[in-house]
Structure formats: structure tokens, C-alpha cells
Structure 1
Amino acid sequence: MSIKSTAGKAGALLARPFHRDGAPTRLHPTSLWAEAVKVAGLYLAPVWGKVRQWLDRYVRPVLGTVSGLGAVVIGAVVLLWILGAAFGWQEAKVAALLATVLILIAIAFILGRSMYAVKLDLARTRVAVGDNAVGSIAVTNNAPRTVLPSALELPVGRATALFHLPRMKAGDTHEDLFTIPTTRRAVITVGPVRSVRSDPLQLLRRQVLWTEPTDLFVHPRTTALDGPAAGFLKDLEGLPTTELSSADVSFHALRDYVPGDDRRHIHWKTTARTGKLMVRQFEETRRAHMAVALSVNTDEYERDDDFELAISAAASLGRQAIKEARELSVVTQRGPIRCETGKNMLDDMTRLAGHNRRGTAVDLARTLSDTVPNASVVFLVVGSRVTPSQLRSAAASVPPGVRCFAVRCYSGAQSARANIADLTVLTLGELTDLAAVLRKAVA
């Protein structure tokens, strides 16, 4: 055997780990650095966890009290002290001393502990667009001594409301009322209420949270529909099918009695006339099930107001169906909307956001036919940019025998009705015209 081949075998034996499965052993690690990192992690992880807890408990609250201006002043103080000590500049030392005094005064302003009992109360957590949400903040001084005037802040969405607290004796309660105007559909986070201590120069700012945040739902505007869902379903019992049944509400014909038939369905007059038992035969009916396909593709709408009008129209149709205890399904490109109650439906529609990369109205109609195959009436709520050919394709996806309407939402347009084959196309310009447009649709 040559020297070269012997050296190669020896190298292979040295490189091979002891474990047969190929895993490295403690004596033959694949990487000393990886092993060192692993060991360091095992021993340093508990220490780092304790350090993080200490930082979160003591250091972070202190740093959180420093405002932007305060950070600049503290940095200037450090720099001035260094320059004064290094170069002997008396002016720098004097300026550093004055800034240090300001910081100490600011610290004195934020020291102390407040003992408040704060209650945030919203009269209603669900309002419609245009309605004012009314609430109150009640503050009680639970401290055994009188507290000086202070301030409370109430975040309302991206804005912040400021409430000034007067001088309060022990046990005193101060209450403030507030209103939140609503102009657009949204979920607004109200709170948490926080007390604020700060110095006159706003160098330091200390906040204490007293309540939990509350969600305020600003539901889309809806309009009442007159009559049985504005007459868009003529048959309250549903549409008949071709399947026969021995027990239902729609009478079809008589047939000979077969053993096992319910005797309650025997037609005694015909039995007496023919001399043989005859039973009633019924035609199965399909209960009225309304399906609403709401397009959230913003490319299909001319303006944002058109999209809001579409949501309001779909919500109005859904509320009417729920009011009449009909089966309801609402589908969007983002998924189905909960329809167990009117509150759930409006909550989901409040959270609904448009997206320009979602499927078209044609894709939505196909999804609707797959997810709601037993619908008896379908509403396609779309924007004004949906073309007649797209509406025709969308209507073709609806199963035969299902009455289909398309509601094109275009703010300010004249309400109108048109037909594309078996599809009834309704143009809606104002939400208040919805009931009248639906009445025209079934006329």
C-alpha cells in the first residue's frame, strides 16, 4: 500500500464521528464555534432573561419619561460638562449647571404617586356614521390627602382629548362628559385613559394608564326597506322545486295510499268518493335564501364614496333579511361575512377594507355560486366600472332558476333600472333611493 492511500484512510477515520447516524460527538464537534455558541446560550439565556426583566421593570419606565426635548437637553448637559472639564471653559460649566438645575426641577414635577379610580364609560360602543358617540370619565381621589390639579389624556383613534382635573380632596369625584363625532365607517380605539405629569418645559413626561382600551364601531349607514324586503321576494314560502314529498306546505296532488304513509295525510272526501284510500302528495319548497355578493375590489369603483355606498347598500339588504328572519349569506373577495345577527354583520362590514388586487366581480359571482348553492335570490353589489359584459358573465355563474340582481353604486347618479338577459341591473346614486329602486325592480 502506498503512503498516499494510507494517509487518505487515516484522514477519513479522523474525520468520521463516533455516532453511526452522522451526528457529531462532544469530542468531535463539526464546529468549535457552533459548540461554543450553543454552550454560551445554555448558560447565558437565564442571565439575559433576568437582565431583560430588570430593564423592563426599572430602566425602560425611566427612559420613557424623557421627551424629545428632554433627551436633547440631557445630551447637551453631558457634552457641556465634558467640554468644560477638558478645556476649562467656564461658560460651558455654567451652562451645564443651569441645564442640570432644569432637569432636577423637571424630576421634582413628575415625582409622586397618584391614587385615582378612573372609570371610562361609553353610552354605546356601536353607532352609525353621522351619529355622535357619547361617553364619560369619572375620576375619584382614593388618596388620603388632597391632590393638586392635573390632567388626563384620552386617546381617540389618532387624536388625543385632554381633560383637566381640579384640586380634589380625599374621596372627591370629578366627572367629564365627551362626544366623539363620526364621519366615516371605522373601528376607533378609545382609551386607555392615562394621567400625565410633566414639567412646564415638557422635558420629562410621566404617564400612568388607568383603564383598558375600548373599541368603538362606527357602522355603515343603512336605510330601512319597506315591505317584505322591498318586494324582492314575491313568494314568502320560497320557490317550488320539482321534487315531491309526503310532508310539506305546498299541496301538489293526490295518490294511492301506500303502507307506511302518514294517516294524517289521507284525503277522506276523495277516499269516500272513489272507495280506496287516497293521500295528499306535496311539492317540496325551497325557503327564501338571500345571497349578497359585495365586491371590495377598489378598481371597480369610481370614488371612495361609491365603495362606501356599496357597503351601505349591502348592509341595508342584509338587515332587512335578518329582520324578516330569512336565511342570509354575504360574500366578499376577502371571505364571508358573519350573518348570525345584525350586530355581527355590521361589525364585520365596519372592519371591511377595499383592495385593488382582489378578484373581479365575475370571480366573486363564481365564488358565491360555489359557497351558496341553495340561494333563491342573489344580489351582486358592484361599482360603476364593472362593464355590462362582466355583469353578463357574473350572472351566467348564478345557477338557473335563481333570481339575480346587480346593484351598481355610483354616487350622485340618477337611479335607474335596466335588463341584461335575465339579469336586472339597478343603478344606485343615493342610499335613500334603495327602497324605491328595489320596488321598480320587481314591478
Structure 2
Amino acid sequence: MTVHTRGAKATTTEQVGALASRLARRAGAIASVARPAAWILILSAIALWTAGQRLGWQELTVAAVIVTVVLALCALFLFGRTAYEVTLDLNRTRVIVGERAVGALTLSNAGSRAILASRVVLPVGSGRGVFDVRRLAAGDSVEELFAIPTQKRGILQVGPVAVLRGDPLGLFERIHRRDSPVDLYVHPRTVLFEGQSLGFLRDLEGLPATDLSPDDVSFHALREYHPGDDLRHVHWKSTARTGTVMVRQYEETRRSHFVIALSRHPSDYRTAEEFELAISAAGSLGLRALRDSQRVQVRVQGRALPAATGKQFLDSLAGLEHSAAREGTLVDLAGSVGATLASASVVVLVCGSKTSAEHVRLACSRLPFGARVLAIVADDGATPSLRRIGEADVVTVGALDQLSRALVKVLA
């Protein structure tokens, strides 16, 4: 008779491996509740027990008993229900840097038994807020209000909410995570400015403007004939009805393919404040172009930023960081724009004060032929100025509120 032992050995090995894996996970879960102070006391208790038994010193044994009892009593605080129903509500998930984001954290006990007092931790980015929650009877709830100050642009992850159960000495801590995290977008500062938009071009696919034209595709109204008007635009039915020669009048249609090329290469900026100023300037220009119903596309080293709407554009700027050195400088970025966006009618280059005039000139030479070029140089604290480099207007701004006045000079 043949006994098949290979399959049985494989099954036994798998079972042993699964058991070991479960034991390892359980041991990891148990070890995770002990804080560094608890591990020190545990090792101290083991050392005291060992020394007391080997040396026969009752004092060491008594000390070991005391430490062990303290550990056991503190461990009892880990037991108990923490089955809160957690609701995290942010009043606004998008704020401007410097504003406070206000929210509410609601904890409810939907069970049939009371939940002992505990602590609730709300992570916010790299920091966290701690709330002491009282004992909640069955069906009871409590609301905690909080405010998140925003000192820097970025995307902060708020949550997930964690419920802590621990002892008064802080030796043990059990964490139960509840709810899902919420992204808080901290947008850069922007400024609104008035004046004529940059770079409108007449185009058959354009949008109607307030300027009237004798020849276009968007019909506006009828008016009386003036000497020199093109007879092809005479509206003969109205002429026959009124007895006066009437001609068609049109609205001039315009289109602008507005491209913003924002350098995020660290070598282009002298300070972090310059980088933030450049982002704010790019955001201000992009919002104005979107408000004017222009087609806006934004490029940074390595990728395009979503800019179909103002909210989407500011969200993408909120998470923008410096690029890696291998992703190229402003010149490489301009080359990418010239190669992929040949139909651009207006290109705005945005960089820092460490970008040389030669690099700006070289970058402009790589942009699409015929596009109007404007370069914005962020130089924190500098006096605003306007100069020409090649075919480009180069505006230097030292603060965000200088941008609108500087653009008035460009459009003059």
C-alpha cells in the first residue's frame, strides 16, 4: 500500500505558516498598544524579577511586583467600547492661505451601552488636534468645533479621526480609526484686476465682443447705409419695407488661446517667498483669463495643470511644489510649449529673480511664432519695473498687489 505524504506535508506547512502569520499579526497588534514608557517598565519588571530570584533580594522582588501591578492596572484601561459614529464636517474644503477653516466633529453613541470617556485625535497634515470626550450614554452625542489655521499653501489631509483609549499614566494606548479623511485645499493668494484682456485675436470660432464690425459672423443689428459700406451687406427686405437702405452690422468675434508657463525649477527662485509670489501671479492671470471666457492652458515642468475652471485651476496650484532638476529649466519649459501648443496666441512666462535675461530671451525664442509674449518675474520686495527683452514685455513685481498696476503699463 502506497501512502501519499507529500500532499499532507504541504498542507501542514501551509497551516503552520498561516498560524504563524496570524500570531505575528496578533503580536504586532498587542505590541502596538504599548508606548515607549510601557516598554521601559516591562523590561524593568523582567530585570527586577530575574535579579530578585537570582540574588535572593526581596526588595527587588517587591519592586518587580509593584511595577507589574502598575502595568496590569494601566492595561485594564484599554478594555471598553469605542464604537462611536463619527461625522467630520468641514464648513469649507477650500480656503485662501491665511484664512481659517472651520469644522465640526460629531461623535454619537448608537449602541445600547455607555461608552467611557476617551480621547479623539484629528490629524491635520503633519499636526493633530486632540479632544477629550466625556462619557456618552446610549443614544447620546457630542459635537466638538475646531478651526484650522492655514499659514502655507498646500493640500492638507484632515482625518481620519482616531479614537484613543489609554491609561492616566500614558503607558498604553489603543487606536481605532473612524470616518474617512477629507482634503482641505489651501489656495494661493490672488488679486483681481481690471482692464483689457491680453491678446484677443479675431477668429471665426471666437466669442462676440462689445466692439462692432461691418464684416464678421455674429449678426448684431441693422442700421442705415453710410457711404463706403459694402453693398453685399445690404438687407433688401428691410430696405423695401422702410424705403431706406439698411445694412447688417456685426459683433466682432474674438478668441484667445491663453497659455501660462510657470517655472517650478528651484534654480529660478531666490527664496520660497518668490516661488509663492510667482504662483499667486500665475493664479491671478489665469483667473482673469477664465473670467474673460478664454481658453486657458497651464504648463509646468513635467506636466500640464488642469485649468478648465477657476476652482480646478486653484486646486492644482495648491499642490504645486518645486520640480526635480532633471525636469528642466524655464528654457526647456518654453520649448515644450512651443512644440505642443503651436496655436497659442498669448504666452505668459512666470519665473523668479534668479532667471537671467539671457535665459528669458532664449525661452521666448522657443515659443510659438506669432504669439504675444509676456514674462512675469517674481522678485520679492523689488520695485515694480517694465522692460523689453526681444519681442517680450518683461514685468518685474515685488508684491502681488503690484501686478495689476504693472499690467496697465503693458496694455497702455
Same fold by TM (over 0.5)? yes
Question: Which amino acid in structure 2 is aligned with residue 232 of structure 1?
Answer: L
Q: 1:222 to 1:53 in 2, by over 3 A?
A: farther
Corresponding residue for residue 362 of structure 1: 331
- The structural deviation recorded for 1:333 is 0.9
Corresponding residue for residue 333 of structure 1: 301
Is 1:386 the counterpart of 2:352? The answer is no
> CA separation in 2, counterparts of 1:187 and 1:149?
32
> CA separation in 2, counterparts of 1:75 and 1:322?
65
Question: Which amino acid in structure 2 is aligned with residue 437 of structure 1?
Answer: A
Is 1:291 the counterpart of 2:267? The answer is no
- Overall identity of the aligned pairs, in %: 36
* SS of 2:44 mapped into structure 1: helix
Structure with more strand by fraction: 2
Corresponding residue for residue 233 of structure 1: 199
Q: 1:376 to 1:207 in 2, by over 3 A?
A: same
Corresponding residue for residue 141 of structure 1: 109
> CA separation in 2, counterparts of 1:331 and 1:82?
68
Cα-to-partner distance string for 1:74-101 (whole Å, 9 max, x where unaligned): 1111122122222222222111111110
Corresponding residue for residue 247 of structure 2: none
Aligned match for 2:399, one of 418, 425, 430: 430
Is 1:125 the counterpart of 2:75? The answer is no
- TM-score between both structures, scaled by the size of structure 1: 0.77
> CA separation in 2, counterparts of 1:236 and 1:180?
48
Corresponding residue for residue 381 of structure 2: 412
> CA separation in 2, counterparts of 1:116 and 1:270?
76
Corresponding residue for residue 245 of structure 2: none
> Which of the two has higher C-alpha Rg?
1
- The structural deviation recorded for 1:432 is 1.5
Which consecutive residues of structure 1, in runs of 5 or more, have no partner in the other structure? 1-39, 241-246, 252-265, 272-284
Is the CA contact (8 Å cut-off) linking 2:201 and 2:254 kept in structure 1? no
Q: How does 1:48-87 map to 2 (within 5 A)?
A: 48-56=17-25, 58-87=26-55
Stretch moving more, 172-181 or 159-168? 159-168
Q: 1:215 to 1:53 in 2, by over 3 A?
A: farther
Q: 1:137 to 1:239 in 2, by over 3 A?
A: closer
- The structural deviation recorded for 1:141 is 1.9
Equivalenced residues, count? 373
Q: How does 1:46-195 map to 2 (within 5 A)?
A: 47-56=16-25, 58-195=26-163
Cα-to-partner distance string for 1:44-78 (whole Å, 9 max, x where unaligned): 4664345324533x322211110001011111111
> CA separation in 1, counterparts of 2:83 and 2:297?
51
Question: Which amino acid in structure 2 is aligned with residue 418 of structure 1?
Answer: R
Aligned match for 1:308, one of 264, 269, 276: 276
Is the CA contact (8 Å cut-off) linking 1:239 and 1:288 kept in structure 2? no
Corresponding residue for residue 403 of structure 1: 372
Corresponding residue for residue 18 of structure 1: none
Q: 1:401 to 1:171 in 2, by over 3 A?
A: same
- TM-score between both structures, scaled by the size of structure 2: 0.83
> CA separation in 1, counterparts of 2:397 and 2:43?
62
Corresponding residue for residue 28 of structure 1: none
Is the CA contact (8 Å cut-off) linking 1:232 and 1:441 kept in structure 2? no
Is the CA contact (8 Å cut-off) linking 1:299 and 1:356 kept in structure 2? no
Stretch moving more, 411-420 or 340-349? 340-349
- The structural deviation recorded for 1:218 is 0.7
- The structural deviation recorded for 1:267 is 3.6
- The structural deviation recorded for 1:395 is 1.0
Cα-to-partner distance string for 1:186-239 (whole Å, 9 max, x where unaligned): 1111111112111121111111112222211111111112245xx323547599
Question: Which amino acid in structure 2 is aligned with residue 192 of structure 1?
Answer: P
Q: 1:169 to 1:268 in 2, by over 3 A?
A: closer
Which consecutive residues of structure 2, in runs of 5 or more, have no partner in the other structure? 1-8, 207-214, 220-230, 237-252
- The structural deviation recorded for 1:169 is 2.4
- The structural deviation recorded for 1:286 is 7.7
The CA RMSD measured in Å over matched residues stands at 3.0
Question: Which amino acid in structure 2 is aligned with residue 178 of structure 1?
Answer: F
